[in-house]
């Protein structure tokens, strides 16, 4: 399900001004854009900790700020987020736990485990979970209560090229001028008042005049 037109327009602006880290799709919102990888993320505390089946059901049924079609992230998607966000030191001397993913602009991120969609090949009743601490992964039985984050693919709304709209506008102006001249019994010359009118139109549209 797609958002309304206003949200889509704001999303397009966000894409054009995106930074390295994820950004809220709308100011103060709870959907976040990773423009580098074309992903939308929920808040990390949008769902309660649950077993895998309950997590899948909750995520697939969710609609957040007009967006549905949420899924449980893969390990790869989590690692993309980890790389995009960067890390800060935890102060723990253990090299397996010495850094954690930058939380902002998310709120409620825990240094705990989050379900992934990746199945543990050795025990197919288990799925991997991902931790924002050192991007660690570990398999858990699907009956285990684990925290839940959600993601979905995102294609930014298409922004029309200004050139096409500009040419159409200038063409319409020229057509109107020519029709008026014809109605007044004047020859439709390429010179005279037609081209100056077109040039004035270009100026009004903020386009440099041809030399």
Could you read off the pLDDT of 39-98 as tens digits, one per residue? 999 999 999 999 999 999 999 999 999 999 999 999 999 999 999 999 999 999 999 999
The pTM is what?
A: 0.68
Contact by Cβ (8 Å): 41, 82: no
The residues with which 41 forms a beta bridge, in sequence order, are: 32, 151
Residue of 107, 102, 95, 106 lying closest to 136 (CA atoms): 95
The string over 104-139, giving b where at least 16 C-beta atoms fall within 10 Å of a residue's C-beta and e elsewhere, is: eebeebeeebbbbbbebeeeeebbbbbbbbbbebeb
In whole angstroms, give the CA distance from residue 51 to residue 36.
Answer: 31
Indicate left, alpha or beta for 45 from its phi (over 0: left) and psi (-120 to 50: alpha).
alpha
């Amino acid at each position: 399900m797609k958002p309304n037109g206003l949200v889509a327009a704001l999303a397009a602006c966000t894409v054009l001004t995106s930074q390295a880290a994820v950004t809220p799709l709308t100011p103060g919102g709870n959907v976040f854009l990773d423009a580098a990888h074309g992903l939308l993320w929920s808040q990390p505390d949008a769902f309660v900790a649950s077993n895998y089946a309950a997590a899948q059901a909750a995520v697939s049924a969710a609609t957040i700020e007009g967006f549905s079609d949420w899924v449980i992230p893969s390990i790869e998607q989590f690692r993309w987020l980890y790389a995009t966000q960067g890390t800060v030191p935890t102060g723990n001397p253990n090299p397996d736990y010495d850094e954690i993913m930058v939380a902002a602009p998310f709120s409620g991120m825990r240094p705990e485990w989050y379900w992934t969609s990746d199945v543990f090949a050795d025990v197919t009743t288990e799925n991997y979970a991902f931790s924002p601490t050192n991007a660690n992964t570990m398999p858990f039985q699907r009956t285990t209560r684990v925290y839940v984050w959600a993601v979905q693919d995102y294609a930014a709304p298409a922004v029309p090229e200004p050139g096409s709209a500009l040419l159409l506008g200038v063409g319409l102006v020229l057509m109107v001028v020519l029709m008026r001249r014809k109605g007044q019994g004047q020859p439709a010359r390429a010179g005279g008042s037609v081209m100056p009118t077109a040039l004035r139109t270009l100026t009004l549209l903020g386009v440099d005049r041809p030399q």
